[in-house]
Structure formats: structure tokens, C-alpha cells
Amino acid sequence: MLRVALVVFWALTQIEPVRAEGSPGCAISITAAAYDGPSDRYPHGALGDPLEWTELRLQVTPAASCGRETTALVLTLPEALVFEDTAPRLADLDGDGLAEVITVESHQMNGARLAIYGAVSGSVVRIAATPYIGRRFRWLAPVGGADLDGDGAMELAYVDRPHLAKTLRVWRFLDGRLSEVASLEGLTNHAFGQTEILGGIRDCGSGPEVITADAGWQRIMATQLIEGRLSARAVLPGAEPAQFDAALACKD
């Protein structure tokens, strides 16, 4: 069944950017993003069916001085890549007041990586990406983005191979680059074939915490980044969606 790509808030292989009409240098705000172009060219099926996405569609609004109304940009991936993901995620990662787009790309031979896109002077461009996992049909499941350690820079968290390695990884986005900060084994947020990625990031008053399950799906875990290290603790028994929702709502 075809997954519906919904917008969720919140170098590197080069792709020729897609140009949009407008004056160079105009500030462009991304207001919505979605995947399109379903294809079976990468039949992994981690998210419940053999279809993945080949296009990233952005709704953008240029600054008033550019003299243009809201328009759309479309990026089409080359044959070797797909977006293996539930939906693109919007977040202001560099603090400039404009959203970037967080995606999961998978390569035919090298597996998945986290990739960040933006709209720059009327172009859709890949800004940064993590390394590929390194093997076909190896995937990662995003958790979210936040300033996890209070240093003023945004961190992105995902579970590396949630069905196999079950390793939480945190990367810092700074000066247009991603650098790995910390990792911790024994955590997951997705079971093979599920159509949803569970968990997220919460702040119940003591700083941001990454919410996942433990590797055996027996407990909900809250993990903090403290002085460059990840520290996890169990907050609820069980690992059904209701427990994830309760933990994210600080009801533990």
C-alpha cells in the first residue's frame, strides 16, 4: 500500500540543483515539503512496501522584495538514489529563521544516510549529509533535531540500523557541516515493516531527551547528551505506541 508522505515539523554525491525563477540572492522560506515519484527501484520494504520516493517537492515563499508569490521546487534524484523515509522534516538547523529539510536517502549499493536540503537562490541543494551506512538495504530511522546539550548548535539524532545494530547516533550541524558527536548501542525506534517511526525528542524541564525503545522492545528509554556522552534511562515499561506517546507527553 502506497505510503502517503505527510509533512512533519519539527562532499557527498552531488545533484544538479533544480532552478526556480527569481532573483539570485533572494531569501527563500520553505513552508512545506513532501516526497513524490514512487518507485520500486530499491525494493527494501523496511517501511512496509517495496515503494520508495524519487522526488522532493518544496513549497517555498521568496521574500517580499523578490516580487514573487509562493511557488514550488521539485528535486528528482538520480537512478542510484531514493528517499527511504516516511516524510521530510522541516527544522531551522542554523538559526537563520529559515527551515531546512531533513531526509533519509538510500543508495543502491551503499544503503542509507541522513541528508539535509535547503532552498538557496531559487535552487534545491543538498547542504550536508552523513556517510552512507555502507551496504545495500541497511537503513536508519530519524528521531529528531534539537540543541541536545545546550551549546547553541543543533543536533540530529537517528537510530542506525534499527533492526540490526540498534545504535542511537547524534550528529551536530554547525557551519553547514555534520559531525558525529556520540553514539549508544541498545536502542531502537522501528520494527521492520512498520509504516511509522516511533519516538522523538521531549523536554520535561531537565533538558532535551531522545525517546526510543530499548533493543528488546521491553521499555521506553530517555537518552540525554551530557558532556559529549549519551546516557539512557528507562522511563516506562512496555514499548507500544501508547507508551511512546505518554513518554513524549512527560507522563512517566
Identify the residue with better confidence: 224 or 123.
224
**Complete DSSP assignment for the chain:** -PPP---B-------PPEE-SS-TT--EEEEEEEEEEEE-SS---TTSSS-EEEEEEEEEEE-GGGT---EEEEEE--TTEEE-SS--EEE-SSSSSS-EEEEEEEETTTEEEEEEEEEETTEEEEEEEPPP-SSTT--EEEEEEE-SSSSSSEEEEEEESTTTT-EEEEEEEETTEEEEEEEEESEES--TT-SS---EEEESSSSEEEEEEETTSSEEEEEEEETTEEEEEEEEE--SHHHHHHHHTT--
> What value does the mean pLDDT take over residues 20-49?
83
Q: What is the pTM of this model?
A: 0.88
- The model's pLDDT over 186-243, given as tens digits with 9 standing for 90+, comes to 999 999 999 999 999 999 999 999 999 999 999 999 999 999 999 999 999 999 999 9
| pLDDT value at residue 228 | 96
pLDDT for res 65: 59
